[in-house]
Structure 1
Amino acid sequence: MHLRRSPEDIAANRARYEEHQKKGLNFAPKALPGFSDFPEIPVDEARVIHREVIPGGWYWSTKVKREEVLRVSLTHGFSSVALIAWASGDTSERMNLPDTVKMQWTTGLSKGRVIFSDMGRVMFSITEDSSGAHDCLVGGSNAATNARYQGHELRDTRDNFVKLAMKIGLDRRDIPAALTLFAPVRVDAEGRFFWNSALLNGADYVELRAEMDMVVGLSNCPHPLDPNPAYAPNPVTITRIAATTVAADDLCRTASAEAIRGFENNAAAEL
Structure 2
Amino acid sequence: MTHPDQTERVHRIPPQSGSGFSLQKGDVLVVIDPQGEQVSDLMAFAADNKEEWLSSGRTFDYNETIYLTTGHVLYSNRSRPMFTLLRDDVGRHDFLLTPCSTETFEILYPPGTAEGHPSCFSNLVQAFEPFGIQPDQIPTTLNIFMNVLVDQQGRVNIGPPISQAGQRLELRAEMDLIVGLTACSAEGSNNGTFKPIDYVVIPAAEAAHRSEN
Structure with the bigger RCO (C-alpha within 8 Å, sep 6+) is: 2
SS at match of 2:123: helix
Counterpart secondary structure, 1:163: helix
Matched, 1:174 2:174: no
Tell me the equivalent position of 1:120: 79
Task: Name the structure where helix makes up a greater proportion of residues.
Answer: 1
Q: Distance in 1 between matches of 2:183 and 2:37?
A: 10
Report the equivalent of 1:91: 50
**Deviation of 1:202 (Å):** 4.2
Instruction: Give 1:50-199 correspondences, 5 Å limit.
Output: 50-147=9-106, 148=109, 150=112, 153-197=116-160, 199=162
Residues 195, 179 of structure 1: alpha-carbon distance in 2 compared, 3 angstrom cutoff: same
CA distance in 2, matches of 1:212, 1:224: 33
Q: Contact 1:165–1:174 (CA<8 Å) still a contact in 2?
A: no
Change (3 A) 1:194 1:98: same
What is the deviation of 1:133? 1.3
CA distance in 1, matches of 2:174, 2:190: 34
Question: Is the radius of gyration larger for structure 1 or structure 2?
Answer: 1
**Runs of 4+ residues over 4 Å off in structure 1:** 149-152
Structure 1 residues 223, 98: closer, same or farther in 2, change over 3 A? farther
8 Å Cα contact 2:37/2:162 also seen in 1: no
Within a 5 Å distance, the mapping from 1:23-38 to structure 2 comes to none
Which AA in structure 2 matches 1:233? F
Matching residue's letter, 2:198 = T
Residues 162 and 155 (structure 1 numbering): CA distance in 2 closer, same or farther, change over 3 Å?
same
2:30 and 2:170 in contact (8 A); partners too: yes
Give SS of 2:44's match.
strand
- Of 186-195 and 157-166, more deviation after overlay is shown by 157-166
Deviations 1:183-228 (A, max 9, x none): 0112101111123447434432100111111010012124474273
* Structure 1 counterpart SS, 2:140: coil
- Once the two structures are superposed, the pairs formed by residues 8-19 of structure 1 within 5 Å of their partners are none
Q: Give the direction of change, closer, same or farther, for the CA distance of 1:116–1:224 in structure 2 (3 Å limit).
A: farther
Tell me, which stretches of 5 or more residues in structure 1 are unaligned? Answer: 1-35, 247-271
From the two aligned structures, give the one with the greater strand fraction: 2
Alignment partner, residue 43 of structure 1: 4
Cα distance in structure 2, aligned partners of 1:235 and 1:49: 16
What is the alpha-carbon distance in structure 2 between the residues aligned to residue 209 and residue 70 of structure 1? Answer: 6
CA deviation vs aligned residue, 1:2-30 (integer Å, no higher than 9, x gap): xxxxxxxxxxxxxxxxxxxxxxxxxxxxx
1:241-269 Cα distance to aligned partner (Å, 9 max, x none): 122339xxxxxxxxxxxxxxxxxxxxxxx
Q: Is the contact made by 2:68 and 2:93 (CA closer than 8 Å) also made in structure 1?
A: yes
Q: Cα RMSD over matched residues?
A: 2.5
Residues 224 and 197 of structure 1, relative CA distance in 2, 3 Å threshold: closer
Letter in 1 for 2:32: S
The number of residue pairs the alignment matches comes to 204
Alignment-mate amino acid for residue 187 of structure 1: V
Contact 2:146 2:161 in 1 (8 A): no
Q: Distance in 2 between matches of 1:175 and 1:123?
A: 16
Residue number in structure 2 paired with 1:242: 203
Q: In structure 2, the residue corresponding to 1:119 is in which secondary structure?
A: coil
Q: Is the 8 A contact 1:79 1:222 kept in 2?
A: no
- Structure 1 residues 97, 198: closer, same or farther in 2, change over 3 A? closer
Say whether the 8 Å CA contact 1:133–1:182 is kept in structure 2. Answer: yes
Q: Which residue of 1 aligns with 2:178?
A: 215
Note if contact 2:145-2:161 (Cα within 8 Å) is conserved in structure 1. Answer: no
SS in 1 for 2:124: helix
